[in-house]
Amino acid sequence: STSKGGRNWASLPQNMSVPPAPRVRLLIHAQDGCLPYLTPQLLDLLFSPSQGGGEIGSGDGEASDKLDNDEDWKWRRAHLLLGVAVKDTCIVPMFQESKMKSTAASKRKRDADSVSSADGKIGKPGEAVSKNDAANRKANVDDTKKPVGYTFLTPGKAEFICSEIREHAKSSWKEPPSASYAQIHLKIPSFVETIIAPSFSLDGPSERRSDNGVGTREKIIPQSTKNAMQIDTPHGWQKIQPEQYWRAVMSVTGPPSSSEEMNLAAGAVGLFDLVSLNRADSPSREKMLKRTNDWSSRIQSFRASQKQPCTGFWTPVHLSGWDLPLESLLARPNRRDSTPSIDRVAIVGWESITSTREHRRQCLRRLMGTLNSSPSKPKEYALLAVNDIESIVDAANEGVSIIGTDLLRRLSLSGLALCLDLTDISSSISSEQCYLDLKDRKFAEDASPIVESGGCKVTSSFSRAYIHHLIEAKEMLAQTLLFIHNLNQMLLLFRQMSHDSVQRDE
């Protein structure tokens, strides 16, 4: 499209070669362990070799031949990572047998539900119920029992869940015997690498006000303690200890397989204290960093004590500590060792720097410079959570190799389509230049595709007018198509940033 001042949107240099190993990769925040909006069929269409099915809605042989030679799925796979949060994939209920008090009322209730005669009939007085019906009634009561609390996944519980799934799907079971919980229960495709984290939430322990109008009450988000991190699960705030967290990580990944296909996990980020956006005072920051370092030390000690191989560890480092010395930033598994050892670093707390964009980038540069001064220089940096295009480009330009975001899902929910100018990626890029608001009525009769070039094979057959109509009709298909389009645009951006990184080194 040549809208937005006549610029050539989503154009990509034709002579650009994809680097063998991508320099910059996209980490998409999963929803309950799944890529948002993408069914297994859509995942295959985007990230697997074409089977000659042609473009969606076309059905002609020429399109089929074109897709048979399409190798876009290769670079899409290479640039994609899935972020799995323990807070919504590893939370499991706890049940306890109810014990009725010995009161007159409970005794009468038990008498009413007990065997009323010796002829094999069970039920209330005057009601004949067979033994099978009574057994079914008891089973239904057990199945609907309310949990007394929630805890986190353990390897034993994960193995039990996987065995139950295998048992109920004997006839249609296709996964190999060595498949992990991530594949069997979460249904993560074997070609998608994952990074596990306790949470991708940008929220910290602060006071919030609800949107109920006048007379609202403030909600206090609980703070972490010395021994446990507070994470916001679908069942409320729960505490998780470092050893408990790593057991959950081991439950999801299972022992790493020698097979490349089964090596799903690209690592797991350690526990980190949530950043308080309302309290940036120094004592609070020092306490937060100390807790994060203590948790990392405990996790690394626990990992070392395990007999089976464990997935890689990403050391969490807070961006808010950009002006601190190296010893304050990193955990020391061995307290006697004055030189912390680091391999991979996950930077958290991007939103805790609330000043200008340039200041935030300088903080990132200072932090990475301090970490690079370590004798064991980090091999890889990840930025766990950012939610704007400017931050993504800035992080890539500073040398961050994995950038996590939930931006694509948010844009799709808002009816916004990414339209990126990939010929001019610079620090001057602005979010205002990157979006088309397809909710706008001016697109109601626009028959052109979302972008004229650089579109994916799934969404290129649909016009802006059609997607505008879906948004107006509140059809979920609008969000699905927008997410696929935005994902393709973002992957093109990461492909270009990888190419630019290689050129800068040359």
User: Which pLDDT tens digit goes with each residue over 386-431?
Assistant: 988 999 999 999 999 999 999 999 999 999 999 887 776 665 566 6
pLDDT for position 125: 46
**Whether pLDDT at 441 is above 60:** yes
- Using N-to-C axis directions, what is the helix angle for 40-47 and 476-505, rounded to 10°? 30
pLDDT for position 190: 81
**Whether pLDDT at 262 is above 60:** no
Mean pLDDT of the chain: 76
- The whole-angstrom separation of Cα 288 and Cα 69 is 52
Higher pLDDT, 130 or 268: 268
Residue 10 DSSP one-character state: T
Contact 55, 64 (CB under 8 A): no
pLDDT for position 115: 42
- The whole-angstrom separation of Cα 232 and Cα 220 is 12
**pLDDT band, very low/low/confident/very high, at 452 (cuts 50, 70, 90):** confident
Residue type, 233: T
**Whether pLDDT at 273 is above 90:** no
pLDDT for position 6: 33
SS3 (DSSP) at 152: strand
Contact 317, 371 (CB under 8 A): yes
Among 163, 187, 160, smallest CA distance to 92 is for 160
**pLDDT band, very low/low/confident/very high, at 110 (cuts 50, 70, 90):** low
Nearest-5° Cα angle at 301, 299 to 158: 50
**Whether pLDDT at 129 is above 70:** no
**Helical ranges in 169-313 per DSSP H:** 181-184, 242-253, 282-305
Among 389, 385, 378, smallest CA distance to 496 is for 389
Contact 484, 42 (CB under 8 A): yes
What is the pTM assigned to this prediction?
0.80
**Whether pLDDT at 209 is above 60:** no
pLDDT for position 357: 87
Q: Which single residue is written with the structure tokens 């929910």?
A: 413
* Pair of tokens at residue 218: 């403030």
pLDDT tens across 324-377, in order? Answer: 888 888 766 555 555 556 889 999 988 888 788 899 999 999 999 999 988 888
* Pair of tokens at residue 295: 């948790």
Higher pLDDT, 453 or 405: 405
| Dihedral over Cα of 376, 381, 383, 389: its sign | positive
Stretch 170-184: mean pLDDT, rounded? 72
pLDDT for position 409: 93
